[in-house]
A and B are shown apart, each in its own frame.
Chain A
Amino acid sequence: DAKTTQPNSMESNEEEPVHLPCNHSTISGTDYIHWYRQLPSQGPEYVIHGLTSNVNNRMASLAIAEDRKSSTLILHRATLRDAAVYYCILRDVYADKLIFGTGTRLQVFP
């Protein structure tokens, strides 16, 4: 599986946009970019995924670099409930499992 690199932690103030970076320089053409987040003492929840084009949903936006070697998860207005560990994961379209790294711990301050 191709690896991802994320900062260990980031901070934001409430109601400000947050940009969470992820580097994946060894990504292959069939790797999807997935983002999950995990709130304290809970199971992870799906946030968003994409292949080549930028993606938007009700939770966040995913901006994918043109060469696909990096991506950014964008939370448009952070809330206290967005404080969580965010995982960026690559998964081949033909793969049958998802491998998690250690993620980025996002702190949101009022």
Chain B
Amino acid sequence: DGGITQSPKYLFRKEGQNVTLSCEQNLNHDAMYWYRQDPGQGLRLIYYSQIVNDFQKGDIAEGYSVSREKKESFPLTVTSAQKNPTAFYLCASSILLSGANVLTFGAGSRLTVL
């Protein structure tokens, strides 16, 4: 079955460490996205990529970095510059359906900074 795989599901990090969250999709979708969700809140867009080797900042890109070297992969690095990184991170990809882009999400990665 096609889908989006995020890993790891749970991750603990010490302050000052960088950490990379993996996102892989086998849906052949062109666009991919990273969102952050804090408890009781909606999703906020971190970065997105419409095509390989190109990406744009979302609303809360500071302290994060991404790469898009392959169509299937869109890893997110949470750097030590991110002041409050503890959150639930969601990766998504999208396809055009009936004139509108529809997102498919992964199961998420929960990052806790100790």
A103 in complex: contacting residue of B42, B50, B101, B108, CB < 8 Å: B42
Measured CA separation A44–B93 after assembly (Å): 12
Q: Are A91 and B101 in contact (CB under 8 A)?
A: yes
A100 in complex: contacting residue of B42, B99, B100, B106, CB < 8 Å: B42
Whether B43 is near chain A, meaning CB under 8 Å from some CB there, is yes
- Determine the residue in chain B with the shortest Cβ distance to A51: B99
Measured CA separation A34–B100 after assembly (Å): 9
Given contacts A43-B90, A96-B31, contact A32 B99 (CB under 8 A): yes
> What are the residues of chain B within 8 A of A28 when measuring CB–CB?
none
Whether A16 is near chain B, meaning CB under 8 Å from some CB there, is no
Q: A-side binding surface: helix, strand, loop or mixed?
A: loop
A98 in complex: contacting residue of B50, B97, B101, CB < 8 Å: B101
Q: Are A102 and B42 in contact (CB under 8 A)?
A: yes
A window 39-58: CB within 8 A of B: 41-46, 49, 51
Whether A99 is near chain B, meaning CB under 8 Å from some CB there, is yes
Q: Are B31 and A93 in contact (CB under 8 A)?
A: no
B55 shortest CB reach to chain A, Å: 11
Q: Are A101 and B42 in contact (CB under 8 A)?
A: yes
Whether B103 is near chain A, meaning CB under 8 Å from some CB there, is yes
Q: Are A46 and B41 in contact (CB under 8 A)?
A: no
Measured CA separation A57–B31 after assembly (Å): 24
B61 shortest CB reach to chain A, Å: 12
Q: Give me 21 A-to-B residue pairs in the complex whose CB atoms sit less than 8 angstroms apart, sorted by A's number.
A: A34-B100, A34-B102, A42-B108, A43-B90, A43-B106, A44-B103, A46-B103, A49-B97, A49-B98, A49-B100, A51-B99, A91-B101, A93-B100, A96-B48, A96-B56, A97-B58, A98-B45, A100-B44, A102-B41, A102-B42, A103-B42
Measured CA separation A44–B108 after assembly (Å): 10
B53 shortest CB reach to chain A, Å: 16
Measured CA separation A96–B59 after assembly (Å): 13
